[in-house]
């Protein structure tokens, strides 16, 4: 339910005494789901390492195009979220 706040309270500027302070906007680190960049890089390296092992094990001329597609999709699967995590509003604060 909502609580009625008289207009006089707004005029005095003492609304903080009535309602708790709103939490600050999340910092940029929370926008990346608290995943350390080193862990993100290690995950990317593991995926590309796996694809490298698979390419070496099953590599022949017919598999070049599928492996190019695999590498592209894995690369974009990590590059797009990495770019998204860098996006911030012009004010430098994230919206809630």
pLDDT per position as a tens digit, 18-68: 555 555 555 554 555 666 778 888 999 999 999 999 999 988 899 999 999
Q: What is the DSSP string of 6-69?
A: -HHHHHHT-HHHHSPPPPPPPPHHHHTTT--HHHHHHHHHHHHHHHHHHHHHH--GGGHHHHHH
pTM of the model: 0.56
Check residue 68 and give its pLDDT.
94
33 touches 82 (CB < 8 A)? no
Q: How far is CA 54 from the centre of its chain?
A: 29
77 touches 48 (CB < 8 A)? no
Check residue 27 and give its pLDDT.
52
Residue with tokens 């598999």: 63
Check residue 5 and give its pLDDT.
73
Report, as an integer, the average pLDDT of 63-92: 83
Check residue 86 and give its pLDDT.
74
Q: With a cut of 70, say whether residue 87 has pLDDT above it.
A: yes
Check residue 67 and give its pLDDT.
93
């Amino acid at each position: 339910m909502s609580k009625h706040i008289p207009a006089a309270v707004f005029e005095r500027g003492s609304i903080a005494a009535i309602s708790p302070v709103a939490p600050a906007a999340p910092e940029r680190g929370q926008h990346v789901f608290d995943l350390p960049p080193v862990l993100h890089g290690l995950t990317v390296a593991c995926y590309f390492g796996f694809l490298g092992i698979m390419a070496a094990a099953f590599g022949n001329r017919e598999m070049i195009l599928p492996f190019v597609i695999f590498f592209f999709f894995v690369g974009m699967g990590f590059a797009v979220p990495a770019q998204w995590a860098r996006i911030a509003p012009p004010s430098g604060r994230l919206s809630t």
